[in-house]
Amino acid sequence: MSAFAQDIAGNIGPADIIVVRFINPTNDNFSDAIELTGIAGTVTAVNERATREPGEPLHAGNEGGHSIWYKFRAPVNGLLFLTATNSDFDTLLAVYLGDSVTNLTPVASNDDAFPGSGFSQLSTAVASNTIYYIAVDGYGGDYGNVQLQYVFTTTEKYYSLSVDPPLGGSVNPPAGLYLAGSTLYLTAAPSRDFEFSGWSGSFNASANPLTVVMNQNYALSAHFLLKSYTDGFESGGLTSLAWTSSGSAPWRVQSGVVSAGRLAARSGPVGDNQQSSLILATNLLSGTGSFDFRVSSEAGWDVLEFRLNGVPLGRWSGEVGWATFLFHVPQGLNTLEWRYTKDANFSAGLDAAFIDNVYLPLPDSSIAARLSILSLPDGEKRVQVQGLSGRRYVIQGSTNLAGWVSVSTNVSDSGTIQWTDSQGANYPSRFYRAIAP
């Protein structure tokens, strides 16, 4: 390392005074423990300037004095293996449960992996979703370069539940690992203006909630259908929303080719190397958008492209029958564009693109939230609130409709919230309501 001085004119010369300041490890204190992520890995540190906090226990029964802290959350029940074998000093390892450095319960500790080894190593059982704190220290105040390796392995059998991120709703409980033999009650919660239509994947079903016994890996998709549309073009023009057109010819509303109802929008009549765009710029809530489309064009060359905020999300060409396209919409100002583009020559089919039955999550604070109760097979009650995305809802419970107690507060990106009342079976009857503070 070298140091030099430089003046405002850029002249460089030797420094008169050099001050070197060493920074303490960021995880010197228990409260600043660094989380070990994933199920295996290696972390490195230098514990020379680490200290022992007041009230800190003796790790592995030794006075130490240069401890640093890590923490690990077990994803499921299993074993956590720790080793400091590649550290360059005599280490100490200890694992604890607790919420402060003065309130720790020892779980496991080790001075030497074997007599004379000079490094620490241990393996301990850990419980699902529990945070364990790990101290690394030096024997008799020793310090140096720390290298801590960790490996988590499960001691029980688990199966995976994979759920495709649904458009038009949500699924509870979420995808993840679940204990073999456990029973899940999957609930499909439709967003506002959608309804649940069924499950597909590992099996097809229409039940909601759906009972799944985790005796294998499952991959499922929840499907939702629209109940209403924002603009079906039944007004006879592009007037229901702030539609604009650009390109060589504007889009128009016509009755010859429709998905449903009497009317649909059609791209303008354009020639070679021309395009026709239908554009909508508007504020939207976070949620799901949808539209029906059809294309009749020269396959591979004349194309309908859908863009959201300038990003292409869909592209179709040739003879494409009526289909529905769903997409995620972020909250805020969004620009949607349907662009029909022709290449340098030739035409085929109707030489046009069509859209119908457009749905967008428009901000409408006047729409009241809907609350429903889903009864699970095990007797528990799952409360479902369908409201506005991004709004906070407080679920309250009562046994007499007079005294209400807040039992859950939630915010959902999709506008749908589900909460399971694990205590519901303890009451002869219980009432629920949702309020938006």
Quick one: 263 and 188 in the same domain? no
Query: Would residue 237 count as lying in a domain?
Result: no
Do the domain assignments include residue 338? Answer: yes
pTM for the model: 0.62
On whether both 96 and 195 belong to a single domain, the answer is no
Q: Do 272 and 323 belong to one domain?
A: yes
- The confidence band for 284, taking pLDDT boundaries of 50, 70 and 90, is very high
Mean pLDDT of the chain: 91
- pLDDT band at residue 191 using 50, 70 and 90 as cut-offs: confident
Q: Determine contact, residues 330/360, Cβ cutoff 8 Å.
A: no
What are 377-436's pLDDT values in tens digits?
Answer: 777 778 888 777 777 889 998 988 889 999 888 887 767 888 888 777 788 888 988 888
Residues 75 and 173 both lie in one domain: no
Q: How many domains does the chain have?
A: 4
CATH number for the domain harbouring residue 315: 2.60.120.260
What is the distance between the alpha carbons of residues 339 and 280, in angstroms, rounded to a whole number? 12
Tell me: do 207 and 303 sit in the same domain.
no
State pLDDT tens for residues 362-376.
886 555 677 888 777
Boundaries of domain holding 96: 30-154
What sign for the dihedral angle of Cα 38, 42, 48, 54?
positive
Q: Are 145 and 45 within one domain?
A: yes
Do residues 289 and 182 share a domain?
no
Q: Could you read off the pLDDT of 305-340 as tens digits, one per residue?
A: 999 999 999 999 999 999 999 999 999 999 999 999
Q: Report the half-sphere exposure of 28 (CA within 13 A, side-chain side).
A: 16
In the chain, the amino acid numbered 311 is V
Query: Percent of the chain having pLDDT more than 70?
Result: 96
**pLDDT tens for each residue of 14-47:** 777 777 666 779 999 999 999 999 999 999 999 9
- One domain, residues 50 and 141: yes
